[in-house]
Amino acid sequence: MIRFKNYVKAGSLEEAYTLNQKKSSAIGGGMMWMKMQKRMRMTLVDLVGLGLDGIEETEEEFSIGAMCSLRQLEIHEGLNEYFGGIFKECTRSIVGIQFRNGATVGGSVFGRFGFSDIITCLLALDTYVELYQGGLVSLEEFCRMKQDRDILVRIRIKKDGRQAAYGSQRIAKTDFPQIACCVAKKGDQVYVSIGARPGLAEVVALKKTEDSGLEELAKKASDSFRYGTNMRGSADYRKHLAEVYTRRLLAGLHKEEK
């Protein structure tokens, strides 16, 4: 288990950022994965008192604080109503309710874990990451950035009218996914995000034409990604799953339009 010599409840983002510039310091999110490390660090910086644990909705966007729990994301009526229940779907198999009450959105996104259902889901939407020093950057760009010592403040999801659906394949209900897939549709534009490949999720944007069927779109999407092999599945199996889930989710969205 990870251990710290000092605990600091940050009084401001500026204080938290300053403390976090030391390599011996760490920002504490939900501590659900960090606590499993076997090491000693100097200072744990806690953002719990900075009002970053809520979800705000405006006419233009949803703003999700970094300290918002995955359970809050799972049961938020506004998010699930607007995006067709994808946040309930993408969180329900993450270990259990007790775990989701502790794990935070900021920790899940900033960690950029390859198995992340949360990042896979968010990538298919018009999502931005608000960093204390780095400002507002798209989640897609953020996922390509090297990890640094900046602080993730909020996740912002634009209300741009996308319809979305999410699905994942697991060996066991609460295991890490073998593949994770989110599909969003806006007009003739289709966004497909594939995670647990087993690398970090990526997204591809495709244009749906009158001649392009769902099977063709699904194959084109699955061909856009690279897949790897680990104990949970082979690269070929993951690619097959990606195509199957993409086709199923596209079909579901197509039915909703009728």
CB 49 within 8 A of CB 7: no
Does pLDDT of 243 surpass 60? yes
Mean pLDDT of 129-136: 97
Rounded Cα–Cα distance for residues 3 and 39 (Å): 6
Greater confidence (104 vs 30) lies with 104
Residue boundaries of the structural domains of the chain: 3-46, 55-158, 163-257
pLDDT of residue 217: 93
Structure tokens at 230: 């680990």
Residue with the larger pLDDT of the pair 147 and 153:
153
Which residues, in sequence order, are CB contacts of 81 under 8 Å at separation 6+?
none
Give burial (CB, 10 Å; 0-12/13-18/19+) of 101.
middle
134 compared with 211, residue with greater pLDDT: 134
28, pLDDT greater than 90: no
Q: What is the pLDDT of residues 218-229, one digit of tens each?
A: 999 999 999 999
In this prediction, residues 57-65 reach a mean pLDDT of 97
Q: Residues near 247 by Cβ (< 8 Å), separated by ≥ 6?
A: 214, 215, 217, 218
Q: Do 164 and 181 contact (CB within 8 A), yes or no?
A: no
Decide whether 55-158 matches 163-257 in CATH topology.
Answer: no
Confidence at residue 36, expressed as pLDDT on a 0 to 100 scale: 62
160 pLDDT band, cuts 50/70/90, is very high
Does the domain at 55-158 match CATH 3.40.50.2300? Answer given as no
Kindly report the CATH number that applies to the domain delimited by 163-257.
3.30.390.50
